[in-house]
Amino acid sequence: MDKSVIYLDHAAATPLDSRVLEAMQPYFSDAFYNPSSPYAPALNVRRAYDAAKQTLAQTIGGRGDELVMTAGATESINLAFTSIGGHVVTANIEHHAVLQVAKHHEHTIVAADEKGIVTAEVIKAAITPATRLVSIGLANNELGTIQPLRDIATAVKTERTKRLERGDMTPIYLHTDASQGAGLIDIHVSRLGVDLLTLNAGKVYGPKQVGLLWAAPHVRLAPQIMGGGQERGLRSGTENVAGTVGFSKAMELADKKRGNEVKRLQQLRDNLQKKLADAFPDAVISGHLKRRLPGHLHISFPGIDAERIVFALEMRGVLVATGSACAANKGTRSHVLTAIGLAPEVADGSLRLTLGQLSTQENTDQAAAIIIEEIIKERQRANA
Amino acid sequence: MTKVYVGMSGGVDSSLTAALLVEQGYDVTGVYMKNWTQDLPGMKCPWADDLADAKRVAVQLGIDFKVFDFENEYKHKVVDYMIDEYKLGRTPNPDIMCNQEVKFKLFLEAALEDGADMIATGHYARVDSGKLKMAADENKDQTYFLYRVTGEALRKTLFPLGEFTKPEVREMAEARGLFTAGKKDSQGICFVGQIGIREFLTQYVEQKPGAIIDKHTGKVLGRHDGAIFYTLGQRHGLDLGGGLPYYVVGKNMDKNEVYVTTDLNDSALWSGNVALESVHWINSQPGEGTYKIRIRHRAVLEEATLFFKDNAVRLVLAHEQRAVAPGQSVVIYDNDTVLGGGIIASAGSQV
């Protein structure tokens, strides 16, 4: 990436860590073998692949053979939903990857509160005797809000116990798409209390189109992609060895530095937030101020056309996301901001600023100054 | 300060148009006309990207930017018109209809309503006190598409690119660092894009197999999936195998038959006499006499004599032209000024 560019969109994509790239490299060339081939060099590739899955599993407190490697998070979510079937409960702030799949099932979409939190109470109220799956993302991709998954898990467990007591064998599982939180918050599956978990390498400085679905041993998955029977028959197709090795390396690295990185990002984010809020007293910060991803800032400047700011910032080398409508999204307002009841003129002035490994004190300060300048300029132009 | 609303499509031409007007001291507002957003099989409609590009350039120029939504009107006035014409066995020109009904009518009206004094577009044409004139770049001149615009509309229109050639426009866009300077020109009818009119039409009209018949022998040479898809003079797409190329010389919409010939000199392919309908004069009706005409975009200007006879408008061409297809437009020029034109009702070799 151009060194002069300031990247503030880590929630959309993260740059591949050089150590991840290094770990992946051999599997494109020297160790290109098909892991299913019978000779020793291929067997070594198979071992490396299994070891990578084992490492990945360890970062979430699972076992390697409980993982199904997929081409990204969307496929993982599809596999989870389609395997379980039945009535599903999810929330109105979920990612399209969840909401669109939910539409193919009998579903209840619960409402998040105005801070973007999905409470265990609304989940409990939405569960019916036919509910087989509850799916709530660990952290919201727009607001950065971290959900009370353990409370939700308790609600699901209570329902499960009730069913067993009355001899009802209908299973009920909790799934979470943890793509946005991985590397930043604890995603240990037993501590979260989930039965299924989705991850995406592309969000943790690993390669894109690499993801996984972890499912607890008591969960029965059904394959969506048929063929040679790889991944215990649950996801056929020659294994993406390089991608999986890279994913594993990325998760390992994230795990190691998590404590310090979280503190660092939080500080940078809080500084950035303070600078912008001080400069614009009418700015609105959305999401939960405490239960929020450390590098995440969703901020709205009422009356401003955020997309103009995105383009103006782009010309000055600062890359940010609009927090809501943008032409590339066909002009539709963000369903998340509508869900939390943000007024249209506030929603349309939203920026999503997400810090990460490329963020430094220096470039974040620089970005703050440029953002302030451009917003002042835009307000002057609009009022002229 | 004169307030000008510029139609910005997200392409290099309209981007530079806006930039030039800003430099010339106008109070400029960029407007993206949202006319068509539907994806077609195998083709993603690029409207959202185009809109983003237009807006990006507007931000770069520091001008206001708006989106005017004409999607319903465009569907009715341009797309439906085109489909209906094809169903009648004719070959319409939707770009001409778009200029007449959308850009120089709806857009003009909406802009004036919104406070504009004038509109501007990135067309290669010149306007001189309500008169439409050919662009300096003969190769790029777009007056063929503009002949149905009114003089009244032209008096409120600016064409800043009329004096420049396309390479100059790219260069100027480049020099100004406009984001769209290197963007590829769009091809063909805007909403049909690269997939071709045939694929587009199959979305709207049923494919009906019929015979391709040799005009001279009466022999059935092959099958087609609808006479509607064929145009007089068409050479490609007949799929009749090797040998000499075949040309469409006629069709019978009732019988769903297409007639072809290998004889490029076949009299049915050539017309010297054209009857016009839906005639439109930009300012006033000219007198009878000899003018220059063009039967398709970028065609060489040909000499023709204009007659008014029993309420009909006729042209007698100095040289017979190939493939003068009903539904297409003939544009009439007096030197470099566009007088107007009409839609070909019928054409033949006899006067």
Residue B259 phi, psi dihedral angles, 5° rounding: -105, 135
Over residues B53-58, mean pLDDT: 96
Chain B CB contacts of A312 below 8 Å? 59
Question: What Cα–Cα distance (Å) separates residue B310 from each residue in A365, B12, B281, B307?
Answer: 79, 47, 18, 10
- Same domain? For B20 and B61 the reply is yes
Residue B101 lies in a domain: yes
Find, in chain A, the residue whose alpha carbon is nearest to that of B58. A308
Question: What Cα–Cα distance (Å) separates residue B195 from each residue in A42, A153, A246, B41?
Answer: 45, 51, 40, 9
Show which residues of B are catalytic: 98, 190
* b/e code A301-334 from CB counts within 10 Å (16+ = b): bbebbbbbbbbbbbeebbbbbbbbbbbeeebebb
Q: Cα(A194)–Cα(A175) distance, rounded to whole angstroms?
A: 6
Chain A CB contacts of B58 below 8 Å? 308
Number of domains chain B is built from: 3
Domain end position, chosen among B174, B195, B216: B195
Tokens, residue B347? 């054409």
- Same domain? For B159 and B58 the reply is yes
- Same domain? For B103 and B8 the reply is yes
Asked if A326 lies within 8 A of B37 by C-beta distance, the reply is no
Average pLDDT along chain B: 91
Identify the structural domains of chain A with CATH numbers, from first to last.
Answer: 6-14+258-383 (3.90.1150.10), 18-253 (3.40.640.10)
Confidence of residue A2 (pLDDT cuts 50, 70, 90): confident
Chain B CB contacts of A329 below 8 Å? 48
To the nearest whole Å, the CA of A302 is away from the closest chain B CA by 17
Chain A CB contacts of B27 below 8 Å? none
Contact residues, B window 62-91, toward A, CB-based 8 Å cutoff: 62, 64-65, 67
Over residues B58-73, mean pLDDT: 96
To the nearest whole Å, the CA of B60 is away from the closest chain A CA by 7
Find, in chain A, the residue whose alpha carbon is nearest to that of B45. A330
B45 touches chain A (CB under 8 A): no
Residue A145: burial class (beta carbons within 10 Å; 0-12, 13-18, 19+):
buried
SS3 B245: coil
When CB atoms are compared, the residue of A315, A328, A381 closest to B52 is A328
Over residues A286-311, mean pLDDT: 96
- Same domain? For B138 and B14 the reply is yes
To the nearest whole Å, the CA of A328 is away from the closest chain B CA by 5
Query: Residue A223 catalytic?
Result: no
Looking at residue A213, what is its pLDDT?
98
The side-by-side arrangement of strands in the sheet containing B257-261 is B220-224, B210-214, B257-261, B247-252
CATH number at residue B179: 3.40.50.620
DSSP state of A193: T
Amino acid at B267: S
Confidence of residue B236 (pLDDT cuts 50, 70, 90): low
pLDDT above 90: residue B153:
yes
- Same domain? For B102 and B59 the reply is yes
Asked if A381 lies within 8 A of B59 by C-beta distance, the reply is no
- Same domain? For B190 and B212 the reply is no
Contact residues, B window 282-321, toward A, CB-based 8 Å cutoff: none
Over residues A311-337, mean pLDDT: 80
Residue B201 lies in a domain: no
CATH number at residue B232: 2.30.30.280
Find, in chain B, the residue whose alpha carbon is nearest to that of A330. B48
- Same domain? For B218 and B92 the reply is no
pLDDT in tens, B128-142: 989 999 999 999 999
From A82, A170, A75, select the one nearest A131 (Cα to Cα): A170
CATH number at residue B297: 2.40.30.10
Q: Cα(A54)–Cα(A49) distance, rounded to whole angstroms?
A: 9
Asked if A315 lies within 8 A of B59 by C-beta distance, the reply is yes
pLDDT above 60: residue A205:
yes
Asked if A308 lies within 8 A of B59 by C-beta distance, the reply is yes
Confidence of residue B38 (pLDDT cuts 50, 70, 90): confident
Interface test with B, best of A310, A311, A379 (most B CBs within 10 A): A311
B52 touches chain A (CB under 8 A): yes
DSSP state of B285: P
Question: A379 or B44: which carries more pLDDT confidence?
Answer: A379
Residue B200 lies in a domain: no
Looking at residue A327, what is its pLDDT?
47
- Same domain? For B118 and B9 the reply is yes
Find, in chain A, the residue whose alpha carbon is nearest to that of B64. A382
When CB atoms are compared, the residue of A311, A331, A381 closest to B56 is A311
pLDDT above 60: residue A330:
no
Looking at residue B194, what is its pLDDT?
60
- Is the reported ipTM for this assembly greater than 0.90? no
Domain end position, chosen among B195, B219, B235: B195
Over residues B37-43, mean pLDDT: 81
Asked if B52 lies within 8 A of A327 by C-beta distance, the reply is yes
Q: Cα(B70)–Cα(B110) distance, rounded to whole angstroms?
A: 10
Looking at residue A120, what is its pLDDT?
98
The single residue of A23, A67, A155, A326 carrying the catalytic annotation is: A326
From A60, A68, A45, select the one nearest A236 (Cα to Cα): A68
- Same domain? For B126 and B37 the reply is yes
Going by DSSP bridges, is the β-strand pair A173-177/A196-200 parallel, antiparallel, or unpaired?
parallel
End-to-end CA distance of chain A: 37
Over residues B336-351, mean pLDDT: 87
Residue B298 lies in a domain: yes
Domain end position, chosen among B145, B164, B195: B195
Amino acid at A146: I
Chain A CB contacts of B52 below 8 Å? 307, 326-328
Interface test with A, best of B59, B60, B176, B179 (most A CBs within 10 A): B59
pLDDT above 70: residue A324:
no
How many beta-carbon pairs below 8 A join chains A and B?
A: 31
Residue B158 lies in a domain: yes
Asked if A329 lies within 8 A of B48 by C-beta distance, the reply is yes
**Lowest mean per-residue pLDDT among A71-85, A234-248, A330-344, B110-124:** A330-344
When CB atoms are compared, the residue of B48, B60, B64 closest to A327 is B48
- Same domain? For B191 and B53 the reply is yes
pLDDT in tens, B282-321: 999 999 999 999 999 999 999 999 999 887 899 999 999 8
- Same domain? For B172 and B74 the reply is yes
Chain B CB contacts of A327 below 8 Å? 48-49, 51-52, 55
Q: Are A138 and A176 in contact (CB under 8 A)?
A: yes
Residue B107 lies in a domain: yes
- Same domain? For B104 and B128 the reply is yes
List the domain range (segments joined by +) for residue B132.
3-195
Residue B329 lies in a domain: yes
Chain B CB contacts of A328 below 8 Å? 48-49, 52
Contacts with A315 (C-beta within 8 Å, 6 or more apart), sequence order = B59, B60
Looking at residue B312, what is its pLDDT?
86
Asked if A308 lies within 8 A of B65 by C-beta distance, the reply is yes
Residue B287 lies in a domain: yes
pLDDT above 50: residue A224:
yes
SS3 B101: helix
Chain A CB contacts of B49 below 8 Å? 327-328
Looking at residue B351, what is its pLDDT?
47
pLDDT above 90: residue B172:
yes
Looking at residue B185, what is its pLDDT?
83
